């Protein structure tokens, strides 16, 4: 059943829908790993990393809502159910239990980097299909790149 009629052709809608759904999964997953790390980070940089994780979580949740609403506007029902996220999410996350501040930084740099790489592929895929969605994905990527940079700066000077 299609409740909302799309304003773009079906072939473009399919490409766009795939990009939006995959982005939704990544963003919701990032918000979950960010909170998991937030609750369990320990070490001398606890406070700064704890607060930075909150920024990532807030950004990921806000963008997840925007991405889901874009899908809905195109007649594509977004799927953010826990079982969907659990089965489709593939970004790295923290181990269970307490996690050293340096390990949290590494995990976040890696997870954000992977998400950014996938977003860049989706930006390319939506260039002709739906420039409006492409613009949204560019905005999401810019924020995640900023967050990745802030975590990566925690590693300076690089060891080894």
Q: Given this model, what pLDDT does residue 160 score? A: 55
DSSP H or E stretch at residue 99: strand 99-100
The pLDDT > 90 percentage for the chain reads 90
Q: Given this model, what pLDDT does residue 151 score? A: 97
* CB burial of residue 126 (10 Å; 0-12, 13-18, 19+): buried
The CA-atom distances, in angstroms, between 77 and each of 27, 37, 45 are 16, 30, 41
Q: Please determine, for residue 6, whether its predicted confidence score (pLDDT) is greater than 90.
A: no
Mean pLDDT of the chain: 95
Q: Given this model, what pLDDT does residue 157 score? A: 72
Least confident of 42-56, 87-101, 118-132, 146-160: 146-160
Of 7, 27, 2, the closest CA to residue 132 belongs to 7
> Quick one: average pLDDT of 101-114?
97
d(CA 125, CA 127): 6
Can you tell me which residue has the tokens 């905005």?
139
For 24, the token pair is 């939704």
pLDDT tier at 91, thresholds 50, 70, 90 = very high
> Quick one: average pLDDT of 101-117?
97
| DSSP conformational letter for 45 | T
DSSP H or E stretch at residue 41: strand 41-42
């Amino acid at each position: 059943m299609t409740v909302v009629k799309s304003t773009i052709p079906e072939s473009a809608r399919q490409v766009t829908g795939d990009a939006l759904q995959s982005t939704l999964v990544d963003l919701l997953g990032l918000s979950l790993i960010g909170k998991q790390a937030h609750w369990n980070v320990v070490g001398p940089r606890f406070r700064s990393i704890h607060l930075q994780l909150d920024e990532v979580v807030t950004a990921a949740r806000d963008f997840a809502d925007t991405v889901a609403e874009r899908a809905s506007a195109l007649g594509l029902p977004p799927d953010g159910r826990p079982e969907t996220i659990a089965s489709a999410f593939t970004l790295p996350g923290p181990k269970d239990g307490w996690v050293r501040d340096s390990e949290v930084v590494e995990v976040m740099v890696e997870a954000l980097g992977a998400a950014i790489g996938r977003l860049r592929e989706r930006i390319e895929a939506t260039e002709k299909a739906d420039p409006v969605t492409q613009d949204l994905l560019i905005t999401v990527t810019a924020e995640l790149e900023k967050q990745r940079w802030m975590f990566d700066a925690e590693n300076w000077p690089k060891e080894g």
